[in-house]
Amino acid sequence: MVPLEWYIGLSAVIFVIGMVGFLIRQNIIIMLMSVELMLNSVNISLAAFSHYLQDLRGQILVMFVIAVAAAEAAIGLAILVSLFKNKAAVHTDEVAEMRG
Amino acid sequence: MLPKLFFGYFAVVMIALSILIITRKNPVHSVLLMLAMFFHIAAMYLFLNAEFLAAVQIILYAGAILVLFLFVIMMLNLKEEFVRTRYMHKWPLSAVLGASILVMIFFGVSNIAQGPAGTDSIEAIKAETQTKALGKLLFSEYLIPFEIIGIILTVALVGAFVLAKKRD
């Protein structure tokens, strides 16, 4: 039997990789994918808790997270498409109008 | 021993894939590596006795969300990424920040105490079948959150349509 801590450790490592990816990349597509990575790492730890605590509520929560991730990806990509139409930009450093 | 080997393989591959995803220059490569990542996550769900989630993971993430990403990348036709010389910025600072947060999480995780076990043991789920057990819980105890998720998805659909539609 694999200990529960291993799953939480794996989940933490993937979460941190997703966070670093969000911080270092300027391409909005990759940044959105880093957010998906972070949501997936949380899903792994929720499923692991659900299995080890013998409670199905963790899996219900994973389904809600997946639904929110789908909504977030759709909205994020729609914003990206409209940004690209208006300014032909997909990098965050090309959009600096708000910086006083 | 065998479950630990299985977990070790999946952990190593998943960490390697996620590092590759955030460091590839070409977004299409990142999306295709993400596909492999999602299949590995689905296998991890199977390993955790969450068959329904494994199916949802493949159908929804690999089938819908990644196709959306690929579609947008193809539609935008990004040639500029290839001529950009610096595509990562301030990565040592971010790596140090990430490592310190990781250490913090590990300190927090190192002394967790497992709570009392619930009622959904593997035998109970096997007697009822997993999808039925999940559905019963989703449509009784979690009915209101389920309705709210439906509203969120509708709002996302309408919002994406309004944002991406042609201005006149």
Residue B109 and residue A9: Cβ atoms within 8 Å? yes
Give the chain B residue nearest A56 (alpha carbons): B120
Give the closest-approach CA distance of A54 to chain B in angstroms: 5
* Chain segment A35-62, per-residue pLDDT in tens: 999 999 999 999 999 999 988 899 999 9
Chain A CB contacts of B72 below 8 Å: 29, 77, 80-81
The predicted model gives A20-26 an average pLDDT of 90
User: How many alpha carbons lie under 13 Å from residue B18 in its C-beta half-sphere?
Assistant: 31
* Single pTM value for the model: 0.90
Residue B21 and residue A37: Cβ atoms within 8 Å? yes
pLDDT for position B83: 62
Residue A30 and residue B27: Cβ atoms within 8 Å? yes
**A28: which strand partners?**
none
Q: In angstroms, rounded to a whole number, what is the distance separating the alpha carbons of residues A46 and A55?
A: 11
Give the chain A residue nearest B41 (alpha carbons): A44
Chain B CB contacts of A43 below 8 Å: 41, 53
pLDDT for position B1: 84
Chain B CB contacts of A64 below 8 Å: 145, 149
pLDDT for position B127: 85
Q: In angstroms, rounded to a whole number, what is the distance separating the alpha carbons of residues B100 and B114?
A: 25
**DSSP 3-state helix, strand, coil percentages of chain B (rounded to 5)?**
80, 0, 20
Chain A CB contacts of B153 below 8 Å: 67, 70-71
pLDDT for position A67: 93
pLDDT for position A100: 59
Q: Which residue has the higher pLDDT, B72 or A93?
A: B72
Q: In angstroms, rounded to a whole number, what is the distance separating the alpha carbons of residues B156 and B91?
A: 33
pLDDT for position B37: 94
pLDDT for position A45: 93
pLDDT for position A85: 83
Residue A36 and residue B34: Cβ atoms within 8 Å? yes
* Chain segment A65-88, per-residue pLDDT in tens: 999 999 999 999 998 888 888 887
Q: Average pLDDT of each block of 10 consecutive residues along chain B (168 residues)? A: 90 94 89 94 92 92 91 79 67 89 88 80 84 91 94 92 77
pLDDT for position B79: 67
Residue A78 and residue B65: Cβ atoms within 8 Å? no
Q: In angstroms, rounded to a whole number, what is the distance separating the alpha carbons of residues B133 and B131?
A: 5
- Choose the closest CB to A20 out of B3, B11, B95: B95
pLDDT for position B31: 92
